[in-house]
Structure 1
Amino acid sequence: MKISMRRSSRGGRRAAAAVAVGAVLALTATACGDDGSGAGGDKGDEGSGKGEITFWDNNTAVRRDIWMEIIKDFKKKYPDIKVNYVGVPAENVQSKYDTSIQGGGLPDVGGVGAAMLAGIAAQNALEPLDARLEKSSLNGKLNEGMVESVTAAGGQEKLFTIPTSASNGVLYYRTDLFEAAGLDAPTTWTKFYEAADKLTDRDKNEFGYTIRGGAGSIAQALDAMYGQTGITEFWNGDKTTVNDPKNVAALEKYVALYKKDTPEADVNNDFTKMVAQWDSGKIGMLNHNLGSYQDHVKALGVDKFRGLANPTSDDGTRVQVSNPVDGLALFKSSKNKTAAWKFIEFAASHESNSKWNESAGAIPSNTEAAQDAWIDEAEPTKLAAEALSSGSTKIVQLPYYLPDWNTISKADNEPNFQKVLLGKMSAEEFLDTVAEQLNTAQAEWTAQQG
């Protein structure tokens, strides 16, 4: 598995059947029909290239400030274009897009990550961007693997979003607490569980780990499952491996940490609450992604924590699930597509893309930005890129191409995962439920492809 930092050619992109970047899906899909109109039959308009456009940020809780800075820079270059910023919490963004597709009120530009891309594209709401990129100053300056991945994730062999960043699963740990306890870095799952137990003293409100029980919990649970079992394929034929007995046992071991080595409040924690809790308390370890790195730096400084690639098995094998590439999409209903595209180009350009990813601690999509000095100074980002480039990390590719993926992996099953944590549902029953839904969605998708 490699993450390519070379410049891409459009011909090369089309020739590849599937390329994974970092921890993202790359699966080839056949094209679906498209009559050229947007959601509700609104084809939109190219517009004058001036005036107002609306931009929806798909993670306002942690990225508002950097987007406001980029919008300010954009205004200096394009004084005739006003960008109306609308921040949407990450946990609400899919439902907001779905509601607006049906009822109107979509933005001109919106943040659309690979995990929800197929579902929105299937509703005919997004403008294909292949031709625009061909003529753009961005052509040849975007990470080839990221472009391949979002193209495949859209499920129609079309480019529906311009990639801006790739993240990766990271195990953050408090170096000061580990040193005081005489513990080795949690580089293996054995050391991880040992540390979680040894660093916990409930009477002192000290815990070895914080587990994600609220929004976004499923991806983290899958990462822990596959990481422990070493299973490297999400599908075995037309059936998912999610409920493989090895995965069931791994999930049982993982959720057993809850309330034993974790705070009880974790059952309701989304990533913002989980990160804030780790930054302010006495908790040894946190699983998140590169996106929270700068939060930890601000709260703890660079000397009290490190961020490592996910733990390996005792024999050194590292397996992790894919993390979706984030990107910017142009909506078909936009009445000013020319101005909207200028904003996307600007946001993905060298300076803006570098600035955004440095703030987020993520891997830039712009190949020039990926060479900037801050990459070497942000250790988790550097280590993540190295782990993915080495070929030693095995990636379980999640099926982002399924229009139902985001719903299955979030709204349908996050409440059930909380039941598992609370002992009201078994790990086996939970994974069997997820597997049944995934197998059905895969069968429907396969049938639609003919």
Structure 2
Amino acid sequence: MSRNNSRRSRARSLLALGAGTCLALTATACGDSGTGAGGEGDGKGKIVFWDNNGGVRTEVWKKIIAEFEKENPDIDVEYVGIPIADVQSKYDTAIQGGDDSLPDVGMVGTAYLANMVAQGALEPVTDRIEDSPLKGKLVKGMTDSVEAAGGEDGELFTVPTSANQGVLWYRTDLFERAGLEPPTSWENFYRAAEELTDKKKNRFGFTIRGGAGSIAQALEMMYAQSGIDSFWKGGRTTVNDPRNVEALEKYAGLYDEVTPKADLNNDFTKMVATFDGGEVGMLQHNLGSYTDHVKAFGEERIDGLPLPPSAEGAPRTMVSNPVDGLGLFKSSENKAAAWKFIEFAASAEMNSLWNESAGAIPAHTDAADDAWINEAGPTKAAMESLDDPDTRIVQLPYYLPDWNGISKADTEPNFQKLLLGQMSAKEFADDLAKRLNEAQAEWSEQKG
């Protein structure tokens, strides 16, 4: 089967599942769709909660559950930890297994939210948020991303709890020694990348991600520089807009000029290790590597900033990062108790506790004043930029069934060709745009 036919098959299967057509995601016989109406219940009894990063986040969730059960002695929460690599397939299998297979509450990321919405598994929570203490207390950038990822305008299918964000990390000691201004503008960034490079001494201004995961970071750098604030215009992607092509050309041009040659095959672990090795001035990566940098250099020699705006005085433009959230399952027979748990876990105190443990950005705005946020400057800056009404968030199309395939296996080899000069920035962007436009057109057609 050709690649395009394979994509069309996957897209049709997903949308048919959402419409209730009896198609199995596994080799098992077709079961219920997992879209039963459930019920509110009496707000007491047992609920089941699935953690989408079991093992890694189990300890902090057990603390949150213990505090919840102390305040709500009539509710018992059963914790189920699902390894992050298995969570999407676990949800899909449970949806096909029928209502009894699904939890009452589960952590759901925007990367696979559309899949679950299409299958009718999640209860909309927009109205519940409006009638709860969470109203007006959730970071705008995160709610916008959850709404966009769900694929239904004006509707939230999870309560956002945390997000990551791209950060421009830089060595403050190297900048000070060279008399350079922090990379708060693109002019400062490119100047520093050049001036901090001394190939004879194996010193480089920047390290680029050329291997697995390279496309998401390239998109971040492109849109931040171009200032284009929407991924689609007139039903077609803006990826190959001339301003994005120009930004991509500048970004890719850093390779082997101000970066190590070995960056060509770097995934995020190798890229972070290269930066933390001590001979690189700047790195673009998310908040998840903050503790690695502090361990390598100490807090006084490292800092991180949101990517600069496209020009002085322009609004900051960022692509959306995956947002984690708490989903209420439509099949739950005890939604009242389940919602109590969601409200509690998403409250300022518990949301802050969870995000401090994870090193992520809290979704509850009141957490911004907590001590750990103020002590973690890059995290505070990221949270403020996400909640800034002037910030423009470019919503990546996580809702497309083919998004992961296009942005990874289909396009990463081309990015390496671009770095090696075997493909132009325009050729790269046009090829990516063609794949995205086809996927969007098919998704729109199947959606009806």
TM more than 0.5: yes
1:68 aligns with 2:59: yes
Q: Encode CA deviations 1:184-224: one digit per residue, 9 max, x unaligned.
A: 21222222222222223344443221212334322211121
> Which SS does the other structure have where 2:120 is aligned?
coil
Cα deviation, residue 74, structure 1:
1.4
Of 292-301 and 385-394, deviating more is 385-394
* Cα distance in 2 for residues equivalent to 1:221 and 1:129: 33
Name the structure 1 match of 2:223.
226
**Residues 33 and 119 in structure 2, CA contact (< 8 A), matched pair in contact too:** no
Residues 234/86 of structure 1: CA separation in 2 closer, same or farther (3 Å cut)? closer
Cα deviation, residue 347, structure 1:
2.7
Name the structure 1 match of 2:34.
42
1:78 aligns with 2:74: no
Name the structure 2 match of 1:327.
325
Q: In the alignment, which of 247, 251, 255 is matched to residue 254 of structure 1?
A: 251
Contiguous gaps of at least 5 residues in structure 2: 1-16, 23-29, 71-75
1:441 aligns with 2:445: no
Cα deviation, residue 254, structure 1:
1.2
Q: How does 1:203-352 map to 2 (within 5 A)?
A: 203-313=200-310, 315-317=312-314, 318-331=316-329, 343-352=341-350
1:164 aligns with 2:156: no
* Cα distance in 2 for residues equivalent to 1:300 and 1:255: 27
Name the structure 2 match of 1:427.
425
Residues 100/398 of structure 1: CA separation in 2 closer, same or farther (3 Å cut)? same
Q: Given the two structures, how large is their TM-score scaled by the length of structure 1?
A: 0.76
Cα deviation, residue 285, structure 1:
0.7
**Residues 56 and 107 in structure 1, CA contact (< 8 A), matched pair in contact too:** no
Letter in 2 for 1:432: D
* Cα distance in 1 for residues equivalent to 2:141 and 2:310: 27
**Residues 141 and 366 in structure 1, CA contact (< 8 A), matched pair in contact too:** yes
Residues 183/235 of structure 1: CA separation in 2 closer, same or farther (3 Å cut)? same
Of 113-122 and 387-396, deviating more is 387-396
Name the structure 1 match of 2:125.
129
Cα deviation, residue 287, structure 1:
1.0
Of 46-55 and 306-315, deviating more is 46-55
* Cα distance in 2 for residues equivalent to 1:427 and 1:197: 21
Residues 39/205 of structure 1: CA separation in 2 closer, same or farther (3 Å cut)? farther
**Residues 39 and 332 in structure 1, CA contact (< 8 A), matched pair in contact too:** no
**Residues 19 and 119 in structure 2, CA contact (< 8 A), matched pair in contact too:** no
Name the structure 2 match of 1:28.
none
**Residues 141 and 368 in structure 1, CA contact (< 8 A), matched pair in contact too:** yes
Name the structure 2 match of 1:146.
142
Name the structure 1 match of 2:396.
398
Letter in 2 for 1:383: A
Q: Encode CA deviations 1:325-363: one digit per residue, 9 max, x unaligned.
A: 321334556788677655544431222211222344543
> Which SS does the other structure have where 1:303 is aligned?
helix
Letter in 2 for 1:290: L
Q: Encode CA deviations 1:364-422: one digit per residue, 9 max, x unaligned.
A: 22233233243333222333344456665444343444444344333432343234334
Q: Given the two structures, how large is their TM-score scaled by the length of structure 2?
A: 0.76
Letter in 1 for 2:412: E
1:375 aligns with 2:373: yes
Q: Percent identity?
A: 61
Residues 368/408 of structure 1: CA separation in 2 closer, same or farther (3 Å cut)? same
Name the structure 2 match of 1:188.
185
Whichever of the two has the greater Rg, that structure is 2
**Residues 355 and 361 in structure 2, CA contact (< 8 A), matched pair in contact too:** yes
Name the structure 2 match of 1:354.
352
Residues 330/314 of structure 1: CA separation in 2 closer, same or farther (3 Å cut)? closer
Cα deviation, residue 430, structure 1:
2.3
* Cα distance in 2 for residues equivalent to 1:186 and 1:151: 32
* Cα distance in 2 for residues equivalent to 1:416 and 1:43: 40
Contiguous gaps of at least 5 residues in structure 1: 1-31
Cα deviation, residue 39, structure 1:
8.1
Cα deviation, residue 175, structure 1:
0.5
Letter in 2 for 1:266: D
Cα deviation, residue 308, structure 1:
1.5
1:201 aligns with 2:198: yes
Name the structure 2 match of 1:19.
none
The structure showing larger relative contact order (alpha-carbon pairs under 8 Å, at least 6 residues apart) is 1
Letter in 1 for 2:69: Y
**Residues 55 and 110 in structure 1, CA contact (< 8 A), matched pair in contact too:** yes
Name the structure 2 match of 1:119.
115
**Residues 362 and 383 in structure 2, CA contact (< 8 A), matched pair in contact too:** no
Residues 391/353 of structure 1: CA separation in 2 closer, same or farther (3 Å cut)? closer
Residues 277/192 of structure 1: CA separation in 2 closer, same or farther (3 Å cut)? same
**Residues 142 and 386 in structure 2, CA contact (< 8 A), matched pair in contact too:** no
**Residues 116 and 405 in structure 1, CA contact (< 8 A), matched pair in contact too:** no
> Which SS does the other structure have where 1:231 is aligned?
coil
Cα deviation, residue 242, structure 1:
0.8
* Cα distance in 2 for residues equivalent to 1:145 and 1:241: 20
Residues 243/106 of structure 1: CA separation in 2 closer, same or farther (3 Å cut)? farther
Residues 148/244 of structure 1: CA separation in 2 closer, same or farther (3 Å cut)? closer
* Cα distance in 1 for residues equivalent to 2:93 and 2:297: 40
> Which SS does the other structure have where 1:170 is aligned?
strand
User: Aligned pairs, how many?
Assistant: 412
Cα deviation, residue 160, structure 1:
1.6
Cα deviation, residue 225, structure 1:
1.5
* Cα distance in 2 for residues equivalent to 1:366 and 1:290: 18
**Residues 50 and 107 in structure 2, CA contact (< 8 A), matched pair in contact too:** no
**Residues 224 and 309 in structure 2, CA contact (< 8 A), matched pair in contact too:** yes
Q: Encode CA deviations 1:220-248: one digit per residue, 9 max, x unaligned.
A: 11121122333333333222221123322
Q: Encode CA deviations 1:249-302: one digit per residue, 9 max, x unaligned.
A: 321221222233223443343334433442343221111233433443344322
